[in-house]
Amino acid sequence: MLLAVYRAYERALVKYPFLTQASSAGALAAMADMLTQNFVEKRWQKGNYNPARTIRFSALILFWIAPITYRWFLLLEKVKGKANLLPLKRMILDQFYHKFAYIGRQFST
């Protein structure tokens, strides 16, 4: 059963990479927020789990963060260079360009 689900996911990644990765990110964000609310913040003890917060968080990831990150990694794959320096080059671009631009976009909205 699990193997069938995994293979279906792999086929979806090949056929629809953007939609599959974005929806996976949204689903993981929803699970992470549910776990955080229930086990870190211990809201389950108080009975005040906030499903609207989970929906907002997963929607933010699904519709804003995942598309930007997906396109960014496609762009990083196009960076060329010597094989031994290429990961360093991509890391520098990622850390010094994308992260600052990303933080700026977050605070400007």
- Which positions ≥6 away from 27 have C-beta within 8 Å? 58
- Which positions ≥6 away from 58 have C-beta within 8 Å? 26, 27, 29, 30, 33
What integer pLDDT is reported at residue 34 of this predicted model?
95
CA distance 91 to 20: 25
Burial of 85 (0-12, 13-18, 19+ CB in 10 A): exposed
pLDDT in tens, 6-64: 999 999 999 999 999 999 999 999 999 999 999 898 877 778 899 999 999 999 999 99
- Which positions ≥6 away from 82 have C-beta within 8 Å? none
Q: Is the pTM of this model over 0.75?
A: yes
